[in-house]
């Protein structure tokens, strides 16, 4: 039996609206799932946002991306993409270079070390996601994905 959110949060008062309950449920679920990712990535010295940035750079290939392109593709918005890339560069997972006539244009690329780390983490992350959501099955997962996409398409 699935616990309801009110019981899980040990709240004696009902939610004011369905929208409030939905938002709190989304936030609670995201926090729970994110905690699992934090724990899996911690031994590798990564945060979920750093992991996301590395995956973005791996997908960009050898040409890499500029800071704003990385920032715009991140799942979670960050206030300072430069600092995020600084940390990844300091650990040897990313390299940056100035290119072209405009010296302000800096391109970031994932290093071999970064690629190797992602390769080691690929199956680990798939396993975490399966443990977190696999019990829902394909039909419910597709419904969830579609509902979340619809929620993001607000007017």
The CATH number that applies at residue 115 is 1.10.10.10
Within a domain: 75: yes
* Residue 137 domain-assigned (yes or no): yes
Range of the domain at 111: 29-152
Rounded to an integer, what distance in angstroms lies between the CA atom of residue 40 and that of residue 26? 21
Is residue 144 one of the residues assigned to a domain? yes
What are the Cα distances from residue 49, in Å, to 19, 76, 78, 81, 123? 28, 7, 8, 10, 18
Structural domain contains residue 20: no
Residue 9 located in a structural domain: no
Per-residue model confidence as pLDDT tens for the chain (155 residues): 456 877 777 777 888 898 998 999 999 999 999 999 999 999 999 999 999 999 999 999 999 999 999 999 999 888 889 899 999 999 999 999 887 666 667 899 999 999 999 999 999 999 999 999 999 999 999 999 999 999 989 76
Q: How much is the pLDDT for 11?
A: 78
Cα-Cα-Cα-Cα dihedral sign, residues 17, 144, 36, 131: positive
Phi, psi of 47 (to 5 degrees): -95, 165
Residue 105 in any domain: the answer is: yes
Residue 44 pLDDT: 95
The structure's pTM equals 0.86
Q: Look at residue 22 and tell me if it is in a domain.
A: no
Within a domain: 35: yes
Count structural domains, the chain.
1
Query: What pLDDT is stored for residue 8 in this prediction?
Result: 73
């Amino acid at each position: 039996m699935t616990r309801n959110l009110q019981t899980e949060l040990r709240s004696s008062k009902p939610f004011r609206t369905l929208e409030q309950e939905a938002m709190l449920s989304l936030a609670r679920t995201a926090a729970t799932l994110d905690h699992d990712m934090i724990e899996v990535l911690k031994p590798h010295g990564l945060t979920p946002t750093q992991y996301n940035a590395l995956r973005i750079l791996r997908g960009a290939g050898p040409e890499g991306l500029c800071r704003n392109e990385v920032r715009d593709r991140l799942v979670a918005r960050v206030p300072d993409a430069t600092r995020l890339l600084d940390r990844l560069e300091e650990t040897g997972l990313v390299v940056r270079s100035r290119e072209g006539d405009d010296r302000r244009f800096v391109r970031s690329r994932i290093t071999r070390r970064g690629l190797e780390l992602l390769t080691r983490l690929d199956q680990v992350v798939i396993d975490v996601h399966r443990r977190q959501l696999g019990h829902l099955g394909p039909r419910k997962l597709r419904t969830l994905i579609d509902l979340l996409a619809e929620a993001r398409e607000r007017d």
